[in-house]
Structure 1
Amino acid sequence: MMRQYELVDRVRRYNPHADEVSLNRAYVYAMKAHGAQKRASGDPFFSHPLEVAAILTDMKLDDATIVAAVLHDTIEDTDSTREEIDKLFGSDIGRLVDGLTKLKRLDLVSKRAAQAENFRKLLLAVAEDVRVLLVKLADRLHNMRTLHHMAADKRARIAEETLDIYAPLAGRMGMQRMRDELEDLAFRHLMPDAYTMIAARLEDLREKNDKIIATIEKELATELTARGIHANVEGRQKQPYSVWRKMERKSIAFEQLSDIFGFRVVVDNVEDCYRVIGVVHTKWAVVPGRFKDYISTPKQNDYQSVHTTVVGPGRQRVELQVRSELMHDIARNGIAAHALYKDGRSAAKESLTSESRSYQWLRRTVALLAEGATPEEFLEHTKLELFHDQVFCFTPNGRLIALPRGATPIDFAYAVHTDVGNSAVGAKINGRHAPLLSELQNGDEVEIACAEGQAPPAVWEGLVMTGKARSAIRRATRDAVRAQYAALGRQIVTRAFERAGKAFTEDKLKSALPRLARPTIEEALAAVGRGEMFSGDVVRAVYPEFMEERKTIVPRPRGEAGWFGLKKATSLVFKFPGGDPELNSISHNGSHGDLPVRFAPNGGAVPGDRIVGILTPGEGITIYPIQSPDLTAFDEEPERWLDVRWDIEESRHELFPARIRIIAINEPGALGTIATVIGDHAANIDNIVFKPISADFREMTIDIEVNDLKHLNTIISHLRARQVVSKVERVNG
């Protein structure tokens, strides 16, 4: 266990002006507070906070962070209080220890929903002061180093959580050295056989290639020295987890990996980085497509280096990373390498936002909470941001946008601004028109075309790569659906008030909201539109004296041919001549006999649509999607409206009619391309009508049969991505 003077010496090595009094007081206070407490290993518990502090001294962090590390378990595991810590060590350290105490109470290995909520709290806490995160990561690293003392089931849960959250979070903060160790320790406990196999293969490979590596190091160093460049050349080997992840991602064998070994060249300054590249590219042949400049365009975790691959001595492929000393420090320690917490000045914290892209990302991520994302959506967004490599694209005015690899112009649009994403209708990549689903590449210049009043299709949610885009699309979809239900609910409620002979105003409904347990008028109307609330309940909430007689007929399913899976009905309110309002239902042997059901012409309806039925006495029920303009013909006949819903068995694979209108370029093969898209998605073409609208364009109205609304939207989205298609939209009436 580290002695008191050793702790002070470790800090003074990089900070001669360290606050020795505070460090000594923290050591003695924590030792007394933890007393005879033991860890699972049998070691004194006090050894753990000392090891955490030692990890942070390796990162050369400020005195307050080291003191907080020594004290980080005192409030949680001893009789110490926040007030006592504040009094002895100051409010700054007290706040850090209190933040760590709250994080310690988070059980991130609990069920997924609770894990999401706790992860949200974690990022909220560390967004206040990044030093909380640094101590937390060091705490997790020491716990992982001693994980073998824990029970097997607990080891697996903690290792999985480390691999799932803490290791990628360390990487996102630029702390690659810590990420590598966390990943390998977790990998060792989660997949011991795979770890042992890969580690053994790496050891054998290193023994075989030792001479080659030494030769390349020497030849490269000699060449740079001859050119007057002071450089440290070092061979490096991939970590077992990194090797395993690449084998899994690319589905290749160990023998097929070509980049297990690489070389790092560390020089004095940025100019020398590019001089090294010039020397290397002059002496050896470059492997095309393997040059990346992260100095001019740093990664979002502040990583900077120039990467290249050449065919070096002995025809060996040699991967090189070239960076300065400062870049090397940031590459290993990330946000902890910034000078802002090393000088002990309180003003340093204020410079963090401008100095560190990592911390800017953290604050942007936490800002999503203000947009109303659920904990699960927040965790989904953050994981998307944590786990993807990046590409760098530009707006037409030169603004740099960093996106996950595989991102599309849709992701780009949402990265620029949510309103741009919601209204996006087209894109230009490097000056040429391109589908919105095109995969972006490094260096692309992207221009987004927008249309006022446009709303993002729900199908986009499953096609984008960024959490910001996904959550924005999901939110826009929810808002659109809520507005649609509210509009339907308003119609239903208005008719209910008319039948009751009562006046309907929003002011009266607003005063009745507490009785309806709804926060807003829109929510109340949407609840009626969704069938969650009966319109008569709204009337009675506004006019408590109102009485309505109702009788209920239980819906009965219909399965014979000619019936299409519309099996249940709710709130089917209409008037019989000379009678009171009744609830009726579709049934095949009920009191009203068989009611034939058919789809409306000119577009039909598909599962997923909000639908209504129009009753025609003696003929049956015609089903319309709620957005059909044909419904306006029945506005003056409220007694014919039936509110119905879908009830489709998952095992059934029926197709339902829909109509789409396509504006296509008039060129050979256009129809074939469109038909292929529809056929590839297992939809059926029932009818096609052509209409020339100009010499260059043709309008096609196509009746197709699809499984449901998602199936239809997927087809429309893929049609829009074809170059021969100028416009495609669904038709209802």
Structure 2
Amino acid sequence: MAEDVVTIDDLIKKVLSYNPDADVELLKKAYIFSSEAHGNQTRIEGSPYIEHPLAVASILADMKMDTTTIAAGLLHDTIEDTTITAKDMKSHFGDDIAFLVNALTKLSRMEFMTKEEAQAENFRKMLLAMAEDVRVILIKFADRLHNLKTLEHLPEEKRQRIAAETLDIYAPIANRLGIGWLKTEFEDLSFKFMMPELHEEIVKKIAKRKEEQEVYLREIVREIETRLKEENIAGKVSYRIKHSYGIYQKMQKQSITFEQIQDVLGIRIITDTKANCYAIMGIIHSLWTPVPGRFKDFIGVPKSNMYQSLHTTVIGPKGERVEFQIRTADMNRVAEEGIASHWKYKEKGAPTEKDSRYIAWLRELVQSQKELPNAKDFLEELKGAVVPDVVYVFTPRGDIKELPSGSTPVDFAYSIHTQVGHKCVGAKVGGRIVPLRYQLKNGDTLEIITSTTHKPSRDWLKFVVTQRAKTRIKQWINVEERTQGVELGIKIMESELKKHNMSNTLMKSDEILQAAKSLGASSLEELFVSVGFGKISPHQVINKLMPEKPAEEVALKPVKPSAEQKGISIKGIDNILYHTAKCCYPVPGDSLVGFITRGKGVTIHNKKCHNLERLAVDNARLIDVEWRQDGEATYPAR
């Protein structure tokens, strides 16, 4: 179904409804500028392009954003898709809007080797910009939401990619920023395009049961309202049926069918004080039996996105489970609008202390990206940072740490600092020693025991769950193994040089650096690692160091036996100087070929020797060689 087209008058009316003092002239100016810049451009389905920035601005107005952010939404594609420059933007609209539009443009102007690499780096850039000014991500959210609503016009492959990206990254970030309604829209729209048949099936089943369930919910609402009135407690009661993607998640997580899901019904009660929240909880538990383990107090211990509410699930009057959320009006506003609720009417990008609490996790992530030069590693850490299922644990000083469910003391240690993780030797929960693989529980108070001599263990990778811990452990192992590889490679090369009466000074010479590059190693360290790990043989390096002589010439001192005495016939000629090549050690039974050297006779090779390809360039110096039937000789074992 086509989206309603937003006009500039619609937009202004919406903004004035929540901000009577809004700078309407700025919005008009931004609209005219954007409209003229995009000119006759159209979207893929043929509609005028200006409809997209208007829709983005309207979504930002739904978030009740300031006029600067909404104006930037109107202008967000002008630098990317038109002849307008960043300098033009600054001269017409000033530094603030120019920064926002330019930050959004940079996210789209990157070229990479692969789509996966592009996606990873794109998100890294987005989060760096977001940490500097959260409005960047809010505009990006609005842009993504409108694109999702018009996704049916794109090719299937692109629809799938955008939907998956939204589910993996955008929806969880919206959740971390506390924008509940946006998270739900991202999830349901993405689900619709990723699994259209399953989505349609669930939507139809929801609709089929809706009338019956609404009758049931209204009965519960009436009973609660009656009790609240009797207790003289203010409360606004509403109900909802869980959205399609939320139901799909339950089906997946619990491995059950739609018909087996018990808690798809929800009731929300908004009251005026924190004390009333707890009083209402008591009333609900007196009316119906609470389900054990389903009570959560996010008022006493708020989520990291500042979400506050009491949650409980009860067995309703007809035996069907119903989930309750109880909170104040202020808590509800934060739950729905999140960080956007703190940006109303603001015209400056600097976040307040409350804003900073929303993005503390992001600042930690941005700080950690300095340790993660690989964009794909950063993307994996981002995905781990926005997981929905979490546990809340305390440091010995009483600070709250939020970690993914299943986290261990090692995950906790790495969340504090990389070095705390590396040096972690043990942990105490509530003063009691626990194993490092112990799974943390809500409310645990955790103390990490460290030792300056301790190092990470590869075994930790078997039980840590946070991407941060996994990445830091793997990085340490890679560095450690690389160091060992370099040391081993140096020892091998020093031994090989000594064996061939070559000076150790070659180890730091231009010659060995050139040899390294010719063998595909970018540096001496890379060469030694490759030798240490067996990727490059020391013989190959020696060959490169003495290119004027075939490698086999430095392999053995030539001897001067009779060919007849040593069991080798060289083209029917006796008493010719020869020696066997050390690179292939030919023994009786091998097919042979000889290579005539300058002044040192013939070098005998196995016909399968890898060096022959190079020697064959001078074909005239190759000679037939065979084993004599009556020959006797001793040969090195292979």
Which of 165, 180, 189 is the matching residue for 1:176? 180
Cα distance, 1:5–1:444 mapped onto 2, change above 3 Å: same
Maintained 8 Å contact 1:429/1:447: yes
- CA distance in 1: counterparts of 2:284 and 2:10, whole angstroms: 44
Maintained 8 Å contact 1:41/1:149: yes
- CA distance in 2: counterparts of 1:38 and 1:139, whole angstroms: 16
Which of 512, 530, 534 is the matching residue for 2:533? 530
- CA distance in 2: counterparts of 1:287 and 1:526, whole angstroms: 59
Q: Secondary structure, in 3 states, of the residue corresponding to 1:265?
A: strand
Cα distance, 1:18–1:581 mapped onto 2, change above 3 Å: farther
**Structure-to-structure mapping, 1:426-465, within 5 angstroms:** 426-465=426-465
- CA distance in 2: counterparts of 1:588 and 1:227, whole angstroms: 104
- CA distance in 1: counterparts of 2:464 and 2:301, whole angstroms: 23
- CA distance in 2: counterparts of 1:226 and 1:33, whole angstroms: 62
Following TM superposition, by how much is the alpha carbon of 1:207 offset from its aligned partner in structure 2, in angstroms?
0.7
Following TM superposition, by how much is the alpha carbon of 1:588 offset from its aligned partner in structure 2, in angstroms?
11
Following TM superposition, by how much is the alpha carbon of 1:501 offset from its aligned partner in structure 2, in angstroms?
5.0
Task: Kindly provide the CA deviation profile for residues 84-128 of structure 1, in whole angstroms up to 9, marking residues without a partner as x.
Answer: 111111121011111222224469996323322333233233333
- CA distance in 1: counterparts of 2:365 and 2:216, whole angstroms: 45
Following TM superposition, by how much is the alpha carbon of 1:143 offset from its aligned partner in structure 2, in angstroms?
1.3
**Structure-to-structure mapping, 1:516-555, within 5 angstroms:** 516=516, 522-533=525-536, 535=538, 550-551=551-552
- Partner amino acid for 1:321? Q
- Partner amino acid for 1:453? T
- CA distance in 1: counterparts of 2:188 and 2:637, whole angstroms: 67
Following TM superposition, by how much is the alpha carbon of 1:537 offset from its aligned partner in structure 2, in angstroms?
7.6
- CA distance in 2: counterparts of 1:548 and 1:424, whole angstroms: 55
Q: Do residues 492 (structure 1) and 492 (structure 2) align?
A: yes
In structure 2, what is the equivalent of residue 405 of structure 1?
Answer: 405
Following TM superposition, by how much is the alpha carbon of 1:220 offset from its aligned partner in structure 2, in angstroms?
1.4
Maintained 8 Å contact 2:312/2:325: yes
In structure 2, what is the equivalent of residue 311 of structure 1?
Answer: 315
**Structure-to-structure mapping, 1:116-127, within 5 angstroms:** 116-127=120-131
Counting matched residue pairs gives 572
- CA distance in 2: counterparts of 1:585 and 1:224, whole angstroms: 95
In structure 2, what is the equivalent of residue 191 of structure 1?
Answer: 195
- CA distance in 2: counterparts of 1:169 and 1:512, whole angstroms: 51
Cα distance, 1:586–1:187 mapped onto 2, change above 3 Å: farther
Following TM superposition, by how much is the alpha carbon of 1:528 offset from its aligned partner in structure 2, in angstroms?
2.9
Following TM superposition, by how much is the alpha carbon of 1:51 offset from its aligned partner in structure 2, in angstroms?
1.0
Cα distance, 1:587–1:25 mapped onto 2, change above 3 Å: farther
**Structure-to-structure mapping, 1:183-222, within 5 angstroms:** 183-222=187-226
- Partner amino acid for 1:531? G
Task: Kindly provide the CA deviation profile for residues 205-228 of structure 1, in whole angstroms up to 9, marking residues without a partner as x.
Answer: 221122221121122123223333
Maintained 8 Å contact 1:119/1:379: yes
Which of 343, 346, 350 is the matching residue for 2:345? 343
Q: Secondary structure, in 3 states, of the residue corresponding to 2:488?
A: helix
Following TM superposition, by how much is the alpha carbon of 1:197 offset from its aligned partner in structure 2, in angstroms?
1.4
Q: Secondary structure, in 3 states, of the residue corresponding to 2:350?
A: helix
Q: Do residues 244 (structure 1) and 245 (structure 2) align?
A: no
Cα distance, 1:585–1:370 mapped onto 2, change above 3 Å: farther
Maintained 8 Å contact 2:164/2:194: yes
Cα distance, 1:154–1:277 mapped onto 2, change above 3 Å: same
**Structure-to-structure mapping, 1:79-478, within 5 angstroms:** 79-105=83-109, 111-337=115-341, 339=342, 341-346=343-348, 349-351=350-352, 355-478=355-478
Cα distance, 1:519–1:62 mapped onto 2, change above 3 Å: farther
Maintained 8 Å contact 1:540/1:547: no
Q: Secondary structure, in 3 states, of the residue corresponding to 1:528?
A: helix
Q: Secondary structure, in 3 states, of the residue corresponding to 1:319?
A: strand
Q: Do residues 53 (structure 1) and 54 (structure 2) align?
A: no
Q: Radius of gyration: which is bigger?
A: 2
- CA distance in 2: counterparts of 1:453 and 1:580, whole angstroms: 52
Cα distance, 1:21–1:42 mapped onto 2, change above 3 Å: same
Following TM superposition, by how much is the alpha carbon of 1:45 offset from its aligned partner in structure 2, in angstroms?
1.5
**Structure-to-structure mapping, 1:19-98, within 5 angstroms:** 19-98=23-102
- CA distance in 2: counterparts of 1:442 and 1:165, whole angstroms: 25
Cα distance, 1:589–1:114 mapped onto 2, change above 3 Å: farther
- CA distance in 1: counterparts of 2:229 and 2:502, whole angstroms: 94
Q: Secondary structure, in 3 states, of the residue corresponding to 2:433?
A: strand
Question: For structure 1, which segment, 86-95 or 153-162, has the greater mean C-alpha deviation from structure 2 after superposition?
Answer: 153-162
Following TM superposition, by how much is the alpha carbon of 1:314 offset from its aligned partner in structure 2, in angstroms?
4.3
Task: Kindly provide the CA deviation profile for residues 379-424 of structure 1, in whole angstroms up to 9, marking residues without a partner as x.
Answer: 2222222334100122333332211011122212211222222233
Maintained 8 Å contact 1:107/1:115: no
- Partner amino acid for 1:264? R
- Partner amino acid for 1:342? K
Cα distance, 1:370–1:40 mapped onto 2, change above 3 Å: same
TM-score (norm 2): 0.80
- CA distance in 1: counterparts of 2:433 and 2:266, whole angstroms: 40
User: Gaps spanning 5+ residues in structure 2: where?
Assistant: 560-578, 593-604, 607-633
Task: Kindly provide the CA deviation profile for residues 453-496 of structure 1, in whole angstroms up to 9, marking residues without a partner as x.
Answer: 33222243343211110110110110111111122122123324
- Partner amino acid for 1:54? S
Maintained 8 Å contact 1:109/1:161: no
Maintained 8 Å contact 1:109/1:115: no
Task: Kindly provide the CA deviation profile for residues 650-698 of structure 1, in whole angstroms up to 9, marking residues without a partner as x.
Answer: xxxxxxxxxxxxxxxxxxxxxxxxxxxxxxxxxxxxxxxxxxxxxxxxx
- CA distance in 2: counterparts of 1:183 and 1:241, whole angstroms: 6
TM-score (norm 1): 0.71
Maintained 8 Å contact 1:231/1:265: yes
Task: Kindly provide the CA deviation profile for residues 151-195 of structure 1, in whole angstroms up to 9, marking residues without a partner as x.
Answer: 444333332332233223322322221121121112122222211
- CA distance in 2: counterparts of 1:203 and 1:48, whole angstroms: 31
Cα distance, 1:272–1:481 mapped onto 2, change above 3 Å: same
Following TM superposition, by how much is the alpha carbon of 1:29 offset from its aligned partner in structure 2, in angstroms?
1.3
- Partner amino acid for 1:551? E
**Structure-to-structure mapping, 1:640-651, within 5 angstroms:** none
In structure 2, what is the equivalent of residue 626 of structure 1?
Answer: none
- Partner amino acid for 1:427? A
Q: Secondary structure, in 3 states, of the residue corresponding to 1:13?
A: helix
Maintained 8 Å contact 2:339/2:355: no
Question: For structure 1, which segment, 158-167 or 105-114, has the greater mean C-alpha deviation from structure 2 after superposition?
Answer: 105-114
Cα distance, 1:193–1:305 mapped onto 2, change above 3 Å: same
Maintained 8 Å contact 1:509/1:521: no
Maintained 8 Å contact 1:373/1:471: no
- Partner amino acid for 2:458? A
Question: For structure 1, which segment, 261-270 or 160-169, has the greater mean C-alpha deviation from structure 2 after superposition?
Answer: 160-169
Following TM superposition, by how much is the alpha carbon of 1:23 offset from its aligned partner in structure 2, in angstroms?
1.2
Following TM superposition, by how much is the alpha carbon of 1:145 offset from its aligned partner in structure 2, in angstroms?
1.2
Q: Secondary structure, in 3 states, of the residue corresponding to 2:471?
A: helix
- CA distance in 2: counterparts of 1:587 and 1:312, whole angstroms: 87
Maintained 8 Å contact 2:580/2:586: no
Maintained 8 Å contact 1:307/1:319: yes
Following TM superposition, by how much is the alpha carbon of 1:66 offset from its aligned partner in structure 2, in angstroms?
0.2
Cα distance, 1:505–1:295 mapped onto 2, change above 3 Å: farther
Q: Secondary structure, in 3 states, of the residue corresponding to 2:402?
A: strand
Q: Secondary structure, in 3 states, of the residue corresponding to 2:18?
A: coil
